[in-house]
Amino acid sequence: MTSSSYTPEVQGQGLRATVQRLGGYLAAMVMPNIGAFIAWGLITAMFIPTGWIPNKTLAELVGPMISILLPVLIGYTGGRLVHGQRGAVVGAVATMGLVVGADVPMILGAMIIGPLTAYVLKLFDGLVENRIRPGFEMLVDNFSAGIIGAAMAIGGVYGIGPVVEWLTKQAGSGVDWLVGRDLLPLTSVLVEPAKVLFLNNAINHGVFGPLGIAEAADKGKSILFMIESNPGPGLGLLLAFMVFGPRALRPSAPAAIIVQFLGGIHEIYFPYVLMKPKLILAMIAGGAAGVGTFVITGAGLVATPSPGSIFAYLAVTPKGGHFGVILGVVVAAAVTFAVASALLGFGRGEPVEDAVGPDETTADHPDEDKAVDPDGTLDKSAKQEV
């Protein structure tokens, strides 16, 4: 599995190419595990107390899956990309060091420590290659992986884990600063990038939730509940992918729309942004447009919409406030769709052969043959060469 399996091969060595390669690599860690994200999302949407079919026993799956299972899968996949199965194993082991004691899902941390641990093991294997006495290969392989994995797990507890949590708190402080100065639309500059790095729950429930509850208790509603949870930007992005995205991914967009917009599981669209990092501009534009619309119309919710679906939005909208809420969602979706479509080149950058399909031949398109070689000159010369 390579990053090019999910993104086109990037040419060049400039900053733009480097960012695109990084996005492709992040996508290659997340996309193979998208089924696990969907499984977690469905369980969350259905069984949490505010879900469609509340079930206390089944809802206990939600926490361990997002805090343990998904980060470990990401770390495992990232390690495998770097150093095969051995890298995958040590990547998963090291990721557990981040999970232990963490207050936020360590998806971002797993994307760092999984490949890093695998790379360390790869360097070690390169150093000892052809230097191990016959009969000791398995012993060295197993103990080297165990020691490196354990050391990186401990390093994750005291190193990468606290750094990721610090970054989360800094993002929250930045949002607090904007909220205190009535610059709410600008919060999207911080919120949208943080969301696609899977810090959405920390920002929503750690920052906007408490502030929104206090404001709702005083005014009967709060716009703060809507800044991170607006399903409009995600809808606009997925619609752009469905129409203008890479042809191999277009069929996945409708199902993702159902999970995201109707089910309220925003994590489903994060990998789409990670594979093409420039699309974060579309998310920021759409998020800011939505928040601006909420401010102008005086919209607000009485509680946090959980999960963040359009149904949950409407359920916690105060009486008489549906127009502003719906308008903000629609505007956010429309702006995101427009900007994302432009950034995707309106599909013009897609290879022509993908449109024809790998199994089709020019025999199925006789008109194309005539357009390329109307007088049969190429065909005659080919026969002469034979």
Give the tens place of pLDDT for each residue, 305-338: 867 888 888 878 887 788 999 999 999 999 999 9
* Same structural domain, 246 and 165: no
175 touches 190 (CB < 8 A): yes
3-state secondary structure of 61: coil
Compute CA 186 distance to the chain's CA centroid, rounded to the nearest angstrom: 21
Distance of alpha carbon 111 from alpha carbon 163, whole angstroms: 13
Residue 286 lies in a domain: yes
Domain total in the chain: 2
Residue 264 lies in a domain: yes
* Same structural domain, 247 and 321: yes
328 touches 297 (CB < 8 A): yes
Residue 25 lies in a domain: no
Backbone angles phi, psi at 195, to 5 degrees: -60, -50
Q: Which residue has the tokens 């232990």?
A: 100
* Element of type H or E holding 18: helix 15-30
Distance of alpha carbon 359 from alpha carbon 357, whole angstroms: 6
Q: Hey, which of 29-43, 119-133, 161-175 has the most confident mean pLDDT?
A: 119-133
69 touches 40 (CB < 8 A): yes
Other CB atoms within 10 Å distance of the CB of residue 112: 20
- Average model confidence (pLDDT) for the chain? 78
Residue 233 lies in a domain: yes
* Same structural domain, 149 and 194: no
| Range 202-206 average pLDDT | 66
CA distance readout (Å), 313 to 50, 154, 230, 329: 12, 42, 8, 10
* Same structural domain, 214 and 167: no
* Same structural domain, 150 and 224: no
Residue 358 lies in a domain: no
* Same structural domain, 242 and 150: no
| Burial (CB count <10 Å: 0-12, 13-18, 19+), residue 158 | exposed
Using alpha carbons, select from 285, 298, 288 the residue that is nearest to residue 339.
285
Q: Which residue has the tokens 């995958």?
A: 88
Distance of alpha carbon 185 from alpha carbon 127, whole angstroms: 53
Q: With bands split at pLDDT 50, 70 and 90, how would you rate the model's confidence at 290?
A: very high
Which residues form the domain of 265?
Answer: 183-348
DSSP 8-class letter at 301: B
Within 8 A by CB and 6+ apart from 62, the residues are: 40, 43, 44, 47, 48
pLDDT at 110 over 70: yes
Q: Where are the beta strands (DSSP E) in the chain?
A: none
Residue 168 lies in a domain: yes
* Same structural domain, 216 and 173: no
* Same structural domain, 84 and 211: no
Residue 222 lies in a domain: yes
What was the pLDDT predicted at 147? 94
Distance of alpha carbon 319 from alpha carbon 49, whole angstroms: 23
pLDDT at 122 over 90: yes
* Same structural domain, 176 and 203: no
* Same structural domain, 241 and 338: yes
Percentage, residues of the chain above pLDDT 90: 25
Residue 314 lies in a domain: yes
| Range 263-269 average pLDDT | 83
Last residue of a domain, one of 162, 181, 200: 181
Using alpha carbons, select from 169, 210, 209 the residue that is nearest to residue 190.
169
Range in 57-61, 146-150, 199-203, 347-351 the model is least confident about:
347-351
pLDDT at 87 over 50: yes
Percentage, residues of the chain above pLDDT 70: 74
| Range 191-203 average pLDDT | 76
pLDDT at 1 over 70: no
Range in 127-136, 197-206, 250-259 the model is least confident about:
197-206
Token output for 262 = 């109707």
DSSP, residue by residue, 165-178:
HHHHHHHHHHHHHH
* Same structural domain, 292 and 306: yes
DSSP 8-class letter at 135: T
Q: Answer whether 0.85 is exceeded by the pTM.
A: no
Token output for 280 = 């974060």
Half-sphere exposure of 47 (CA within 13 A, CB side): 15
DSSP, residue by residue, 197-245:
IIIHHHHIIIIIHHHHHHHHHHHS-BGGGGTTT-SHHHHHHHHHHHHHS
What was the pLDDT predicted at 334? 96
Last residue of a domain, one of 181, 204, 236: 181
Within 8 A by CB and 6+ apart from 191, the residues are: 175, 203, 227, 228, 287
Within 8 A by CB and 6+ apart from 198, the residues are: 105, 107, 108, 267, 270
* Same structural domain, 171 and 196: no
Last residue of a domain, one of 147, 181, 215: 181
| Burial (CB count <10 Å: 0-12, 13-18, 19+), residue 126 | exposed
